[in-house]
Structure formats: C-alpha cells, structure tokens
Amino acid sequence: MSKSQQTVIIFLSILTFFSCRVKAQRADFDLSEIACLQNEKPCQIIEHVGYTVCYNSQWHIPNWVAYELTDTETKGVVPRKGNDFFTNDPEVVGDFITHSDYSGSGFDRGHMAPAGDMKWSQQAMAESFYMSNMCPQNHDLNDGDWKILEERIRKWAGQCGSVYVICGPLVSEHAQTIGRKKIVAPEGFFKVLLKNTPNGYETIGFVFQNEGGHNPLSSYVVSVDEIEAMTDIDFFQILPDEIENAVEGTYNLRVWGL
C-alpha cells in the first residue's frame, strides 16, 4: 500500500469517526413515544409523514400532536392548500370529523401541526389538513399570537438545526362543545419545545387562552413541568431521567431570544 493510499484511509477513518459522533449526539426521537398520557383518556396514535397525533375519539380532537421541524424543512416551497382542503383522517378509528362539522360554530379549524411547517412535502402538506390535526380555535388567536409563535419556531429551527414541538388543547371537565358530534372546544392551548444546543438540551412551554388578544410571546411562557401538571401528560420521556428532570423545570428566555 502506498503512502498516499494510507493517508486517504486515515483521513476517511477520522471523517467516519466524527460523523458517527455527530449522529450519536443528535436526538432521533420516536414521535409516538415523545409524550405519554398519565390518565385513561382515549388515545389513538396515528403517524403521518410530517407529524404524529394522539387522537381523542371522545373529544374528537387530539390530546397532543408532535413533530420535528428541521432547518431544511423550513425551506420547503409546497404551497399551502385552501380552506376547502380540510378532510377527515382515514386512519381514525370510529366516528370521524369532517370539514362541515365546524361550520357555523364561530371557531376556526385550528391546525396543531401547522401547514406552514409542512411545505417540504406534498403529502405532509395534505395530511396537515386532516381533521384529526384540528381543534376549534378562536380566529383572533389562530391568526394572531398562535401564528406568531409558529413563525418564531421556524426561525429557531433554522438557527439550531431542528426543534421538537408538541402541542395540543387544554380541556376542562365542563368544556364547551360544538356541532352535532359535540366536538370539544378547548379553553386554551399549549406548546412545548425541545432543542439541542452546544450546552445541552433546552425546553420551553407556552400556554394560550382560546381567545383574542395580542401580547409578547414571553408573556405566555411557562415551564414544561407546569404544562405537564395542567395536561397530565409526560413530555420528552425518552430523554434520560437526569436530563429530563433538569431541563423541564426551568427555561432560559435568552436561549430562545425572548
């Protein structure tokens, strides 16, 4: 073997080593296990191309929706579909919800996994309009601060490579319902985020009331632990316990640019 061949082999070995180190450090979470209900609420796990939903057949809305948004995905160019594109989810078992079930309710069909995060795939875009990904949402919230947070998450994903997002409704025992099928209209909504930084994992939570109003995003911030208490859901349980316990009880606004 020549000296130049030996040099190439050594270089490729070093490159492979660092490539494996990068892959090992990057979280690669199973979205079906990224959140876990701590009670007996109905939950059908449905995995779509762009997101995973824990669907509540009693409420006719999700318990939670989870997805990873990467830097590459934020650069997608697939156009958003029109309002007539909302459709029932063919994977839902039992009585499903259609576009017309929200008609006349006064609520938007509010995306949990936003269409704006699915522009990287025609199929992901189409599936984001499944009714299993919707909740009755106040229009001013849907088109206001909720949308502003969605746009900010795209910015964060572009800055750090990827962000994990879990979102869903906040539902009380005496929640309002809409339509003949009695779809639950939540009192509020949550989002919890996880990103990996050079200094380790960082989390943050947001809680919105299902109403209009415009406030700084920082005014909606809470810890992930607080949202776990509100929802009875264990988030990011696939992290090692010592890391999960350390990052979910606090947040750093400066890390998120808030």
Active site residues: 111
Cα of 187 vs its chain's centroid, Å: 19
The C-alpha atoms of residue 2 and residue 133 are separated, in whole angstroms, by 60
DSSP states of 178-242 as a string? ETTTTEEE-SEEEEEEEEEETTEEEEEEEEEESS-----GGGGEE-HHHHHHHHTEEESTTS-HH
Residue 229 CB neighbours (<10 A): 11
The C-alpha atoms of residue 150 and residue 196 are separated, in whole angstroms, by 19
Cβ(248)–Cβ(202) below 8 Å: no
- Which tokens hold the place of 126? 């189409």
Q: Which residue has the tokens 């409704």?
A: 169
Smallest CA-to-CA distance from 124 within 138, 141, 136, 111 is with 111
